[in-house]
Amino acid sequence: MRLNYTVKKFRDTFKLKWDDKECMRIGKHLSKLCKEQDIEISKEYDGKYDVNAYPIGIWTDVMTNHCVNYIKENIQNNKSNNMIQNCQKN
């Protein structure tokens, strides 16, 4: 069984503070990555529409890169307060 998440399902499951605009931006980025890497994108019905659902592997890559970039950015700016916590919430 493959584990797939829509962007909003991922946001809600992990209690992330992404608005709808951010969800759309992330979805476009995930779609692009999946197409570049020939990774299958599935569809899920969200109660209103069929939306793209992405495998957990691509989510892991994207979130790891996001957190690494966030930490690097804050180290460069000498901001060390709660970097990991903020990364997990953003």
| Helix, strand, or coil (residue 5) | strand
Nearest Cα neighbor of 85 from 10, 2, 15 is 15
Q: How far is CA 5 from the centre of its chain?
A: 9
Q: How confident is the model at residue 83 (pLDDT cuts 50, 70, 90)?
A: very low
pLDDT tens sequence across 31-45: 999 999 999 999 999
The answer to whether the beta carbons of residues 43 and 51 sit under 8 Å apart is: yes
